[in-house]
Amino acid sequence: MHEGCEGSFGGGAQIVDKLRTMGFSSMAMPVEVQLDCEACGTPFQMQTLEGRCPQCDMVYGVTPCHAADPGNIKAAGVGY
Protein backbone atom coordinates (compact mmCIF):
# COMPACT_ATOMS: atom_id res chain seq x y z
CA MET A 1 0.00 0.00 0.00
CA HIS A 2 2.97 2.29 0.47
CA GLU A 3 4.03 1.11 -2.99
CA GLY A 4 1.07 3.08 -4.28
CA CYS A 5 -1.50 1.28 -6.37
CA GLU A 6 1.23 -0.42 -8.37
CA GLY A 7 2.22 -2.72 -5.47
CA SER A 8 1.92 -6.43 -6.18
CA PHE A 9 0.93 -9.20 -3.77
CA GLY A 10 1.24 -12.93 -4.40
CA GLY A 11 -2.03 -13.95 -2.83
CA GLY A 12 -4.69 -13.48 -0.21
CA ALA A 13 -2.45 -14.19 2.78
CA GLN A 14 0.02 -11.48 1.71
CA ILE A 15 -2.84 -9.01 1.20
CA VAL A 16 -4.33 -9.75 4.63
CA ASP A 17 -0.89 -9.53 6.27
CA LYS A 18 -0.37 -6.09 4.70
CA LEU A 19 -3.85 -4.92 5.76
CA ARG A 20 -3.17 -5.99 9.34
CA THR A 21 0.31 -4.43 9.41
CA MET A 22 -1.01 -1.11 8.11
CA GLY A 23 -4.12 -1.16 10.32
CA PHE A 24 -6.53 -1.21 7.36
CA SER A 25 -8.35 -4.50 8.07
CA SER A 26 -11.43 -2.81 9.50
CA MET A 27 -11.55 -0.05 6.86
CA ALA A 28 -14.93 -0.02 5.09
CA MET A 29 -15.17 -1.24 1.51
CA PRO A 30 -16.06 1.58 -0.94
CA VAL A 31 -19.11 -0.53 -1.82
CA GLU A 32 -20.08 -3.67 0.07
CA VAL A 33 -19.64 -6.82 -2.01
CA GLN A 34 -21.73 -9.99 -1.98
CA LEU A 35 -19.37 -12.99 -2.13
CA ASP A 36 -19.90 -16.72 -2.32
CA CYS A 37 -17.28 -18.34 -0.10
CA GLU A 38 -14.68 -20.32 -2.08
CA ALA A 39 -14.46 -22.94 0.67
CA CYS A 40 -18.10 -23.66 1.56
CA GLY A 41 -20.23 -21.72 -0.93
CA THR A 42 -22.02 -19.63 1.71
CA PRO A 43 -23.03 -16.19 0.42
CA PHE A 44 -21.98 -13.29 2.65
CA GLN A 45 -21.54 -9.52 2.52
CA MET A 46 -17.95 -8.22 2.63
CA GLN A 47 -18.16 -4.85 4.39
CA THR A 48 -14.51 -4.22 5.29
CA LEU A 49 -11.18 -4.73 3.49
CA GLU A 50 -10.68 -7.91 5.52
CA GLY A 51 -13.74 -10.12 5.62
CA ARG A 52 -14.66 -13.56 6.96
CA CYS A 53 -17.17 -16.14 5.87
CA PRO A 54 -19.63 -16.53 8.76
CA GLN A 55 -20.00 -20.26 8.08
CA CYS A 56 -16.43 -21.62 7.73
CA ASP A 57 -14.22 -18.65 8.76
CA MET A 58 -12.46 -18.33 5.38
CA VAL A 59 -10.64 -14.97 5.45
CA TYR A 60 -10.65 -12.64 2.45
CA GLY A 61 -8.76 -9.42 1.76
CA VAL A 62 -8.39 -6.65 -0.77
CA THR A 63 -6.09 -3.61 -0.77
CA PRO A 64 -7.66 -0.14 -0.60
CA CYS A 65 -6.40 0.74 -4.08
CA HIS A 66 -8.09 -2.31 -5.60
CA ALA A 67 -11.25 -2.49 -3.50
CA ALA A 68 -13.48 -1.00 -6.21
CA ASP A 69 -13.15 -4.21 -8.28
CA PRO A 70 -14.54 -7.34 -6.56
CA GLY A 71 -12.28 -9.44 -8.80
CA ASN A 72 -9.33 -8.29 -6.68
CA ILE A 73 -10.67 -9.86 -3.46
CA LYS A 74 -8.50 -12.85 -2.57
CA ALA A 75 -8.93 -15.71 -0.11
CA ALA A 76 -6.21 -16.02 2.55
CA GLY A 77 -7.29 -19.29 4.18
CA VAL A 78 -9.70 -20.71 6.71
CA GLY A 79 -9.06 -19.16 10.12
CA TYR A 80 -6.15 -17.10 8.79
- Domain of 19 in residue numbering reads as 4-78
Q: How far apart are CA 74 and CA 67, in angstroms?
A: 11
Q: How far apart are CA 29 and CA 74, in angstroms?
A: 14
pLDDT (tens digit per residue) in 2-41: 455 666 677 999 999 999 999 999 999 999 999 999 999 9
Neighbouring residues of 47: CB distance < 8 A, sequence distance ≥ 6: 28, 29, 32
* Statement: residue 1 has pLDDT above 80: no
What is the total count of domains within the chain? Answer: 1
